[in-house]
Chains A and B, each alone.
Chain A
Amino acid sequence: MTDPFFIFQLAANQVRESEIMTTEIEALQDELLAEVAGAADLARLEATRVAALGKKGRITAQMKGLGKMAPEERREAGAALNRVKDVVAEAIEARRLSLHEAELEARLTTEGIDVTLPIRQQPQGRIHPVSQVMDEIAAIFADMGFTIAEGPDIEDDFHNFTALNIPPEHPARQMQDTFYLPQREDGMPLVLRTHTSPVQIRTMQDTPPPHRIVVPGRTYRSDSDQTHTPMFHQIEGLVIDRDIHMGHLKGTLEAFCQAFFEVDNVRFRFRPSYFPFTEPSAEVDIGCSYEGGKLRIGEGDDWLEILGCGMVNPRVLENCGLDPSEWQGFAWGMGIDRIAMLKYGIPDLRAFFDSDLRWLHHYGFVPLDVPTMSGGLSR
């Protein structure tokens, strides 16, 4: 051990023993480096650092002794001490890093987890197929220049029937089992709309032509069995312009079916039919096949009826104040639930309205699966 007072003594004795001093400093350095190397952990290394470089450390003490030396000796010894100080500090830092690494390594080996344990559950919500399909439909028709129109579920007899060319004794009123509410004070019967068609009337009455709208919404008929529910969803379409003909109707519906069912080709059949609010009227069948219990839309030998449509009856145009010699166009209506069932293979209509968590989870859609024309409707 080198005595801290050694240098004082040197100074006090005024002995020129620079060689001896150099040796002593080297010895100090060796000794300190050995201590650094021997520090087994970070705490001991810190103790070593304090003992060497701290306020009362050995190198610090030697530094303090420099003041008593002759200028020449001081310069020489000072330089030597500074070198020692740097070397030791560097060694401490290097040792610290390696001890730190070793300690981390040691800790990490004890820090295993069972990665197969289940995660903290973030409950997953789902979007109902009706909502998803409505969004899909909106995306397709937006691309074709349509806007979404809406109307009330509780309708008056005029908008639901009379204006649509279904006068009170018309047999078509019996085709639709209507829910009635107490009549209005002015004697007007009120119904739950049996179709989304009254929104055609409201749109044509409220805004000037041309029109290009789709109308999704709830509709009601007093019917309840395996395949009918008292409430269901329809989407109505209406195009009114000057030169719109039935070929446009067919083109529009074909484009819709291809986009909606996400197939390149859909076999398409227009059949003459009857609706009071369109003339001529048609029902539309699309081609399909059943393979292994799964329905495939597009090609195939079977036909599937999916919607009713036609050219807007001139009587309806007149009822809305439009001149049929100037304006013409087409309308169609189809069941949203039905096309959702067809596209996604959902077997039972009644389950749509039962809110069974298992059904919602199975047939529902993850929240951020937003259908767009750019990103695709479904995956």
Chain B
Amino acid sequence: MKFTLSWLKEHLDTDASLAEITDKLTAIGLELEEVEDRTEDLAPFTVGYVVEAKQHPNADRLRVCIVDTGGEQVQVVCGAPNARTGMKGVFAPSGTTIPGNGMLLKPSNIRGEESNGMLCSEREMGLSDEHEGIIELAEDAPVGAPFAQIMGLDDPVIDINVTPNKQDCLGVRGIARDLAAAGMGTLKPLDATPVEGSYDSPINVELNFENGYETACTCFLGRHFRGLKNGPAPEWLRRRLTAIGLRPISALVDMTNYITYDLGRPLHVFDAAKVSGNIQARMAAAGETFLALDGKDYELDGEITVIADQKAAEAIGGVMGGEASGCTDETTEMFLEAALFDAHRTAATGRRLGIESDARYRFERGVDPAMVRPGVEIATRLVLEMCGGETSHAVLAGTPEVPAKVVEFRPDRVSELIGIDVDEAEQRKILSDLGFGIVDGEGCWQVTAPTWRTDIDGEADIVEEVTRIAGYDRITSTPLPRLSVTSKPALTLAQRRRPAAKRALAVRGMMECVTWSFMPRRFAELFGGGTEDMLLANPISSELDAMRPSMLGNLILAAGRNVDRGFDDVALFEVGPQFRDATPKGQDFVAAGLRRGRDARRHWADSPREVDAFDAKADALAVLEAIGAPTASIQIAADAPAWYHPGRSAVMRLGPKNVLAAFGEVHPRILDRMDVAGPMAAFEVFIDNAPLPKAKATRNRAELLVSDLPAVQRDFAFVVDEATTADSIVRAAKGADKGFIGDVNVFDIYSGKGIEDGKKSVAITARLEPKDATLTDPEIEAIAAKIVAAVSKATGAVLRG
């Protein structure tokens, strides 16, 4: 909301400085966005009288001017074609910075002639792009007077941010009222003396609504004018509108804009000659079309309020007028409309039709119903002043009266809710200055909200009004009472796992990413998503239209972007949400990551190797370890989701159903479709699937039972079918004699010469741990035999000879 200082002072009697006023605006919740004050940079510029302009002796296009600046006569060399003897222009002395181009004026000698200043063009003054000649001021402009003052440019433009609850401050008068309440002066009385009409309006008004739609428009006050002479509005009005960024059009149209910004009261003017018959407010008919003042055609429907004459809709109620009945310079008869439109319906209409307008902006936030009549009277006077003519008696349909809103308010609530002391007298003054009515009661007042405060809903709103005007700076910082001497954990065990997972992966050399929760549908489909229920109805682009079913898609795309930047070796992860369905439980917290390229940079000592599925497996296990999952009990099965390479991937399960993780190479077809060069090894850990530890009465660990007796390492090579998993061999070996067999590990896989086709040799090493005495050779042999027997039984393995 923009206005100028002089405009504000039409309503506010104040000695306060601009800075005091702008500071106060922010302090009472009318946040200052910007002050545009040209007074300072225009200060050196004055009205100059060209006493003489003669041809420059050495330059065809230049003139040598003697300028009377009010105190002295200065010689200026000027190139403007319109510089001539006897004119008045804008003079800038040497030492001035020219606003339009930032140039600093210095005394100079131009082809032999002294020049000690400048006569300026509009472009040089930063007023417009006009640079054909210098500015010509009116003949009666006083020589030496400040240019800014002559042009009305000494009126600072103030722009404030008005929150949706402060619709009363969408008019300058409301702002003045708030400032007055906050001690910035006094609110001037509003002169809304009725202007008597001299004839009956030839146009009548009616509200024509079917059952249930009566609230669409509850009041329509109209007035007919004739004998008008439309045309440009007076200078002061055009200047104010220009200052706040509105384009002056004609006196009648400018008047409506002015009242909209001055009183927050939108009005509309019809060219009465173009209206046939009476005017009514009604709902539009389905399919009815309308050419609005913005030059666009709109198709209306039965939920949209229109103002119509006998033939057609002439305005969309509270939103925009129509082209057909708009006022022009030729208009001599006019019909003025001041109506009350339903806020919600106006908002819905504006949204549906995509029309932003000053009227809509105000109606959807709530317009003061009590301002219908004064608004019309003030508008009437303005029209008659500017355009002459005469006016009819007003015609009214409906009523501007609305029931007063009364709120019970306990003055004590200010200290209870805000923690500040504002005594009752101060509270009373603040509220009455803001227009609230107060009826006393025992510790509780009946507070009547003024008609312009359509936002007041309850006691808390009154507390806010008091606090806002008393000043938020009175609120003193108070520490929250401590709940316990030492602080308790803020995170649950489940929540703690996420930072643990992140840091575990970062320690493994991976970069943490945060990628969008959405992704392109065509890619979401590759990961089992992209179903209708997971699509955004209004995506920002088709690249971000589906909720991600897996984080891998976005990580693959992220890896691709890095490859495109010349980074072939990529290790990325993300810990975040992914989405199965739209229910609160359909969202999973997952740690996912991928690696691409080599595991390290090329090095003088060691060659890096290409990353593979086992890197992803290690990453997944690292996360599971970090979050405290029972990794020893994990089973690995080769049934990873479809986006993994079918032969080089697996899931990690706990029991038959609970999948903790999936890992493997990304399916080459997926990479193809996403146009990202592989191969890549990826994993997903479903953090929340890992069981939480049971609540324990003690943090004590189980006793550590170890022996100092030397352990023995025994190696075995088994020949098994190609399809036999290493895991089944290791498990069988471990289970052969649990009392003695510790760690078992695979240290070699071999197939080829010496091994039958379709078979492979798997070499394992087992650690045999004694209990009470050092193991003897026969004991070792016995355990080894058990291992061979167990592995053979489980896998059909034969000990390699």
Contact = CB atoms under 8 A, between A and B. Distances in A.
B587 A152 contact: yes
B758 interface: no
Contacts of B482: 145
Given A274-B163, A281-B464, A126 B511 contact: yes
Given A245-B418, A360-B511, A174 B579 contact: no
A360 B512 CA distance: 7
Interface stretch (B52-60, B536-544, B646-654): B536-544
A231 B506 CA distance: 23
Contact of A154 (B480, B558, B565, B587): B587
Given A128-B513, A180-B538, A123 B600 contact: yes
B517 A311 contact: no
Given A131-B512, A179-B539, A279-B460, A125 B479 contact: no
Q: Which of A117, A175, A254, A367 has the most CB of B within 10 A?
A: A367
B515 interface: yes
Interface in A270-293: 270-274, 279-283
A192 to B, nearest CB: 7
B475 A246 contact: yes
A218 B576 contact: yes
Nearest to A284: B472
Interface string A106-134: 00000000000110111111111011000
Contact of A222 (B472, B490, B505, B540): B540
Contacts of A152: 583-584, 587
A270 B490 CA distance: 27
A272 B464 contact: yes
Q: Which of A120, A224, A366 has the most CB of B within 10 A?
A: A120
A171 B164 contact: yes
A367 B571 CA distance: 14
A270 B473 contact: yes
Interface string B345-361: 00110010000000000
Interface stretch (B80-88, B279-287, B601-609): B601-609
B487 A145 contact: yes
Given A272-B472, A311-B460, A153 B577 contact: yes
Given A125-B506, A356-B562, A270 B512 contact: no
B605 A120 contact: yes
Interface stretch (A7-15, A62-70, A347-355): A347-355
Contacts of B704: none
B503 A367 contact: yes
B294 interface: no
A248 B28 CA distance: 21
B516 interface: yes
B541 to A, nearest CB: 8
Interface stretch (A26-34, A43-51, A135-143): A135-143
A145 B481 CA distance: 9
Contacts of B344: 169
Contact of A314 (B27, B165, B459): B459
A280 B565 CA distance: 50
Interface string A179-200: 1111010000010100000000
A174 B479 contact: no
Contact of A364 (B364, B475, B511): B511
Contacts of B511: 125-126, 355, 357, 360-361, 364
Given A120-B600, A222-B538, A271 B29 contact: yes
B548 to A, nearest CB: 11
B517 A153 contact: yes
A271 B27 contact: yes
Contacts of B507: 125, 367-368
A147 interface: yes
A247 B478 contact: yes
A172 interface: yes
Interface in B446-497: 457-461, 463-464, 467-468, 472-473, 475-480, 482-484, 487-492, 495
A353 B572 CA distance: 13
A172 B347 contact: no
A250 B506 contact: no
B373 interface: no
Interface range for A: 35 or more
Given A180-B536, A274-B165, A280-B467, A313 B576 contact: no
Nearest to A177: B538
B383 interface: no
A270 B540 contact: no
A57 to B, nearest CB: 35
A179 B604 CA distance: 53
Nearest to B415: A245
Contacts of A120: 600, 603, 605-606
Interface string A137-179: 0110111111110111110000000000000011110110001
Interface in A242-257: 243-248, 250-252, 254-255
Given A128-B513, A230-B544, A270 B503 contact: no
A173 B364 CA distance: 12
Contacts of A234: none
Contacts of A124: 509
Contacts of A271: 26-27, 29, 31, 472
Contacts of A272: 27-29, 464, 467-468, 472
Contact of B577 (A128, A218, A245, A268): A218
Interface in B504-550: 505-518, 532-540, 544, 547
A360 B517 CA distance: 19
A174 to B, nearest CB: 7
B539 A154 contact: no
Contact of A192 (B420, B476, B490, B536): B536
Contact of A280 (B26, B460, B483, B518): B460
B292 interface: no
A341 to B, nearest CB: 14
B616 to A, nearest CB: 15
A220 interface: yes
Contacts of B513: 128, 355, 360
A370 interface: yes
B512 A128 contact: yes
Nearest to A312: B460
B582 interface: yes
Contacts of B163: 273-274
A256 B482 CA distance: 15
B517 A247 contact: no
Contacts of A283: 31
A245 B417 contact: yes
Contacts of A128: 512-514
B468 A148 contact: no
The 8 closest A-B pairs by CB, nearest first: A272-B29, A247-B419, A142-B490, A123-B509, A125-B506, A274-B163, A280-B464, A355-B558
24 contacts: A120-B605, A121-B601, A123-B571, A125-B509, A127-B506, A142-B490, A179-B537, A223-B540, A246-B420, A248-B419, A250-B475, A251-B477, A252-B479, A270-B472, A271-B26, A271-B472, A272-B28, A274-B164, A314-B460, A355-B558, A355-B562, A357-B511, A360-B511, A364-B512
Given A120-B600, A120-B605, A251-B480, 12 more contacts: A123-B569, A131-B499, A143-B487, A154-B586, A169-B344, A169-B348, A222-B538, A271-B472, A274-B29, A280-B468, A355-B511, A355-B562
Interface of A: 117-118, 120-128, 130-131, 135, 138-139, 141-148, 150-154, 169-172, 174-175, 179-182, 184, 190, 192, 212, 214, 218, 220, 222-224, 230-231, 239, 243-248, 250-252, 254-255, 268-274, 279-283, 311, 313-315, 328, 352-358, 360-361, 364, 366-368, 370
Interface of B: 26-29, 31, 163-166, 343-344, 347-348, 351, 364-365, 415-420, 457-461, 463-464, 467-468, 472-473, 475-480, 482-484, 487-492, 495, 499, 502-503, 505-518, 532-540, 544, 547, 555, 558, 561-562, 565, 567, 569-572, 575-577, 579, 582-584, 586-587, 599-601, 603-606
